[in-house]
Amino acid sequence: MIYDNLSVNDAGHLAIAGIDACELAAEYGSPLYVLDEDRVRKNCRTYVEAMQKYLPDGSAPLFASKALCFKGIYPVIESEGMGADVVSGGEVATALAAGFPAERLCFHGSNKTDAEIAYGVARRVGCFAVDNLNELAVLGREAKAQGITQRILLRVTVGLDPHTFAAVKTGKVDSQFGVPIETGQALAFAKTALATEGVEVVGFHSHIGSQIFEPGSFCDQVDRLLAFACDVRDELGYVAKVFNLGGGFGVPYVEADPKMDIAANIAAIASHLKAGCEGANYPMPRVLLEPGRSIVADAGVTLYTTGGTKTVEGYRSYVMVDGGMTDNPRYALYKSAYTIINASRAADPADFACTVAGRCCESGDRIAEDICVAKPERGDIIAVLGTGAYNYAMSSNYNRVPRPALVMLSGGTARLAVRRQTVEDLLALEL
Ligand code: LLP
């Protein structure tokens, strides 16, 4: 199996962390998001341990909440010693409602509203990643008005274009995120920030993209960020204590995808940064990373019930599932590949060539095209693997489809963490 927390049990069913997927679907209904908490913890530990080993004290991973935000995730990442990146008032509120310490939050977002800024300051989030001058001015005023000095990172764009799909690249020069180094604007941004009352600049933030497999991209990012930091030191006399390098480590979705060794990648980034700092005579900064996908993607499985197959003679066969782009829009948006198996017949040969189609009235509602699964009967459970990141988080109510429930598995038991949305929940919004 592509992820080693998955197996086939004696009933010939898919087991997730040892628990029968068909029994989960029978108990909690479908579609169903399943999250293997023990796998999330293992991924957290890989980051925490490698960062402690290779980077200066105070370096840490912050979980990128955007990948999977619900209350139940926060006690897990907190107890594993991580912070969290949050990008909206909603994510801040969710983390705080779960009891997550505000000082371990880093508040991102390219267009935070005045209300969100005031709320973040009032709730004493540890740090803001300030995206631009507009926000800087509001934040400085708000922090002063509330009588605090807000720690901030300045978000800059290093102008890199790593190999990944266009919609998730954020580091290139022409970007709506952060302030570009190349045009000289980032230096001016730093100058203004250093003179702004109410804030204390602790360092710089940069994020170059997502689903990146080449360690070289992160080393290039480090080079550019360090060169910028040196310019700021030389021009403005300011030395950064923190480099936040964002997220982006890639995960395999199908067997053909490369596998990234997270610890080795962190070691490579650390030694590259250390050498760069020595060469530039720059004090080694603390490093923050913001992994999202690589913490939760391989811990998630989505279970569907199939309504059966449909063959268009001479063309293709479809496996119809009771969810689709509403719970997983990533194929419709990015043509993202997934590994899909018939969980009810996991021991049978995967020899039925098909396209997996969702239930929405839209021809783009597909989860995968031209794959093979063991031929399903109506009622079989279809498992889509690797759906822990950006699936629940990006789900919608298109076609008035309620969002699925989410169960967490830990130590061989399952517990409901998010109940299934109902049509009544949706109607309750309407006056
Ligand atoms: N930090 C910042 C500032 C980010 O913008 C992102 C992702 C992350 C951290 C986390 O990156 P990760 O480790 O998860 O790659 N919806 C897309 C992914 C968009 C990512 C946006 N930013 C998808 O489904 O693939």
Q: Which two tokens stand for residue 140?
A: 């400085």
368 three-class SS: strand
Mean pLDDT of 227-233: 98
Which pLDDT value is given to residue 3? Answer: 96
Q: Return the residue matching tokens 């898919």.
A: 14
List every span in the chain annotated with CATH 2.40.37.10.
6-36+297-427
User: What's the whole-model pTM score?
Assistant: 0.97
Q: What is the pLDDT of residues 277-286, one digit of tens each?
A: 999 999 999 9
Q: Kindly tell me if the per-residue pLDDT of 109 is higher than 90.
A: yes
Consecutive H or E run containing 45: helix 37-54
Task: Check pocket membership of 78 for ligand 1, CB cut-off 6 A.
Answer: no
List of residues 6+ apart from 403 with CB closer than 8 A: 326, 327, 392, 395, 397, 420, 421
Which pLDDT value is given to residue 163? Answer: 65
Q: How far apart are CA 145 and CA 48, in angstroms?
A: 36
Which pLDDT value is given to residue 399? Answer: 97
- Characterize the bridge pairing of strands 199-205 and 242-244: parallel
Q: What is the DSSP string of 119-149?
A: HHHHTT-SEEEE-SHHHHHHHHHHHHHTT--
Which pLDDT value is given to residue 174? Answer: 84
The best mutation among 179, 290, 338, 387 to test binding of ligand 1, ranked by most ligand atoms within 8 Å of the C-beta, falls on 290
Q: What is the pLDDT of residues 126-159, one digit of tens each?
A: 999 999 999 999 999 999 999 999 999 999 999 9
Which pLDDT value is given to residue 170? Answer: 64
292 three-class SS: coil
Structural class in CATH, domain 6-36+297-427: mainly beta
Which pLDDT value is given to residue 173? Answer: 83
List every span in the chain annotated with CATH 3.20.20.10.
108-291
Mean pLDDT of 222-235: 98
Mean pLDDT of 52-68: 98
Q: Kindly tell me if the per-residue pLDDT of 114 is higher than 90.
A: yes
Task: Check pocket membership of 64 for ligand 1, CB cut-off 6 A.
Answer: yes
Closest C-alpha to 241, from 280, 187, 286: 286
Q: How far apart are CA 357 and CA 350, in angstroms?
A: 17
Could you tell me what percent of the chain has a pLDDT over 90?
Answer: 96
Locate the ligand 1 atom nearest the alpha carbon of residue 155 and give its number: 3
**Strand ranges across the sheet with 19-20:** 6-8, 14-16, 19-20
Would you say 382 and 348 are in contact if contact means Cβ atoms under 8 Å apart? Answer: no
Backbone φ, ψ for residue 38 (5° rounding)? -65, -35
Compute CA 138 distance to the chain's CA centroid, rounded to the nearest angstrom: 28
List of residues 6+ apart from 166 with CB closer than 8 A: none
Predicted confidence band at 161 (pLDDT cuts at 50, 70, 90)? confident
Compute CA 171 distance to the chain's CA centroid, rounded to the nearest angstrom: 16
Would you say 394 and 359 are in contact if contact means Cβ atoms under 8 Å apart? Answer: no
Q: Kindly tell me if the per-residue pLDDT of 397 is higher than 70.
A: yes
DSSP-derived secondary structure letter, 348: S
Q: What is the pLDDT of residues 4-51, one digit of tens each?
A: 999 999 999 999 999 999 999 999 999 999 999 999 999 999 999 999
Which pLDDT value is given to residue 430? Answer: 97
Q: What is the dihedral of CA 96, 73, 150, 188, to 10 degrees?
A: -140
Closest C-alpha to 247, from 39, 92, 61, 45: 61
Q: Is the bond leading into 31 cis (omega within 30 degrees of zero)?
A: yes
Q: Kindly tell me if the per-residue pLDDT of 68 is higher than 80.
A: yes
Which pLDDT value is given to residue 296? Answer: 98
Q: What is the pLDDT of residues 162-202, one digit of tens each?
A: 766 555 556 678 888 999 999 999 999 999 999 999 999 99
Locate the ligand 1 atom nearest the alpha carbon of residue 391 and give its number: 24
Would you say 232 and 280 are in contact if contact means Cβ atoms under 8 Å apart? Answer: no
Could you tell me what percent of the chain has a pLDDT over 70?
Answer: 98
Q: Which two tokens stand for residue 173?
A: 């020069």
Task: Check pocket membership of 203 for ligand 1, CB cut-off 6 A.
Answer: no
Task: Check pocket membership of 61 for ligand 1, CB cut-off 6 A.
Answer: no
Neighbours of 8 (CB within 10 A): 16
Would you say 224 and 159 are in contact if contact means Cβ atoms under 8 Å apart? Answer: yes
The CATH topology of domain 108-291 is: TIM Barrel (3.20.20)
Nearest protein Cα to ligand 1, atom 6: 247
Catalytic annotation present for 361: yes
Nearest protein Cα to ligand 1, atom 23: 390
Would you say 294 and 67 are in contact if contact means Cβ atoms under 8 Å apart? Answer: no
**Average predicted confidence (pLDDT) for the chain:** 96
Which pLDDT value is given to residue 162? Answer: 79
